[in-house]
Chain A
C-alpha cells in the first residue's frame, strides 16, 4: 500500500504554508503528524497533488497560558501535550483524554492541530474541543480568524477550513473553580477509536450544578454537544435522577449510525450508560477540594 505520487514542500513558516495553499488550492494538503493522513495516502483513499509539510514550523509548537486558558500551537505533538503540567493543571479534561489517543508511538508524531483538522468524529480531541468550546485560530490568505469548536466541525472528516486555510492554534479554557471533568470511552481494544466516548464537565456551587458540559464522540458525523441534557442538569443537585434524565435525553436525541463495530441502537445505549458514568465521575471530582 504505497501512496500515489505528489509534489512535496517543507515550509519554514506559517506564511509560507498559507502561500502554498493559496497557490495550489484544492490540490494541496497539509501534512502535520501524518498519523491520520499517511494511512489515507497509503491506502490511496486520497491523492493530493501537493503535500505541504508543516513539521519544520517550530513556531507552531507551544503550550502557553493565555486569557484564562491554555493556547496550544497546532503542531504541538500530542505526546508533549500529554506530559504538560500546565494542561494537567488547567485543562484536566484534555489531560485525561490524551492517553486514549492511539498509542505512544502515534502520539509521538501526531499533533493536536492535525487530529482536530482531520475531524474524525470518533476521535478524542474533537470531543474535548466541543465539550469545552475551544477556540480555533485559522490562518488563510485573508488573514486570521477564530471560530468556536462547534462551528469548526462541519461533518464527517469535514471542517470549516477552506482549502486555502490552515489551523494554527487551539485555545482551551481553564477548568472553572468548583468543576470536575471526566473522559470515559468504550472501545473494542485499548487505543482504538472509541465506539462511543463521553466528555463531561460539571461545575458545582454547593450541591447545585451551576454549569454542565456534555459532549459525545462516535455518535454522529461530528462530536455532539448534548445541550438538552446539559439544561436538564443545571440548577439542581447532581443526583441519580438528574443523571438518568440527562442520559435519557442523550439517548432520545442522538441519531448514530450502524457499522460493523456497533449498531445504532447499541451506540445509543452506550451513550446513555457512559453519560451517567461520566457525569458521576465528573461530579465526584467537582466535590473534591
Chain B
C-alpha cells in the first residue's frame, strides 16, 4: 500500500461564501460539499454520473459533482441548492414553480434538477416541452414520472419572465468566478 498522498490546499467560493481547506486528492467534490462544508442538499445517487442527483453549478454551468475531485474546484465559484433561495422566507422562482406544480415527491433528486433547470432557463428562457424533456433526460427521478417536473419548468419560465429581478443566485455566472 502506497503512503497516504499529501493533502492539497483548495480555496473556493460556494454560494458566495469563501472556503479554504486541506483535502486528500481523492476526495470527491460531492463529498467535500456534503461532509466538509455541511451542505447536505446535494445527494448521493449513483456516483458514476448517470442519475444527476449530485448536479451543482460550477461557474454557472451544471456539472456532476461526483465526477470531480474537490481539488479541481480550486478557485472556482460553485452554487449548490442551498444557494438558490434569496432568503429564508422566499424561494427562487424555480423552486416556487416546483412547489406550485408538485414537481417533487421524495425530494431526493430535486436539488440536482434545480441546478440544471436554473442554468437552462437562464440560457433558454422559453423552452418547448421537447427541449425541457431533453434537458431533463440527464436526471433520473423514480417518484414523479417527470410530468410535473416538466410542468414546473414551464411554470418557472413564466415566473422568471414575469419578474426577472427575482432570479438572483444560481441563474448564471457568479461575478466572482475565476478561470
A positions within 8 Å CB-CB of B? 1-8, 10, 31, 34-35, 38-39, 41-43, 49, 51, 53, 55, 58, 79, 102-106, 108-109, 189-191
Contacts and interface: CB of A to CB of B under 8 A. Distances in A.
B54 to A, nearest CB: 9
Which of B25, B67, B135 counts the most chain A CB atoms within 10 A?
B67
A38 B68 contact: yes
Contacts of A55: 72
A38 B116 contact: no
Nearest to A105: B62
Contacts of A79: 61
A105 B64 contact: yes
Which of B24, B58, B134, B138 counts the most chain A CB atoms within 10 A?
B138
B138 A102 contact: yes
Interface residues of B, number: 34
A258 to B, nearest CB: 23
13 contacts: A2-B31, A5-B26, A10-B71, A35-B67, A38-B68, A41-B26, A42-B48, A55-B72, A102-B138, A104-B120, A104-B138, A108-B58, A108-B62
Given A6-B5, A38-B68, 11 more contacts: A2-B26, A2-B47, A3-B28, A5-B26, A34-B72, A49-B2, A51-B69, A53-B69, A105-B116, A108-B58, A109-B67
A42 B66 contact: yes
Contacts of A8: 5, 8, 25-26, 69, 71
Interface in B2-49: 2, 4-6, 8, 24-26, 28, 31, 47-49
A209 B6 CA distance: 60
Nearest to A192: B50
B62 A53 contact: no
Contacts of A6: 5, 25-26
Top 10 A-B pairs ranked by shortest CB distance? Answer: A103-B138, A8-B25, A39-B48, A38-B67, A108-B61, A105-B62, A1-B47, A190-B137, A3-B26, A7-B5
A102 B134 CA distance: 11
Contacts, number: 99
A4 B25 CA distance: 10
A38 B66 contact: yes
Given A1-B47, A8-B69, A79-B61, A104 B135 contact: yes
B5 A35 contact: no
Given A35-B64, A109-B63, A109-B64, A53 B72 contact: yes
Interface in B66-80: 66-69, 71-72, 74
Given A4-B26, A103-B138, A108-B62, A43 B68 contact: no
Contact of A43 (B2, B48, B74): B48
Contacts of B48: 1, 38-39, 42-43
Contacts of B138: 102-106, 191
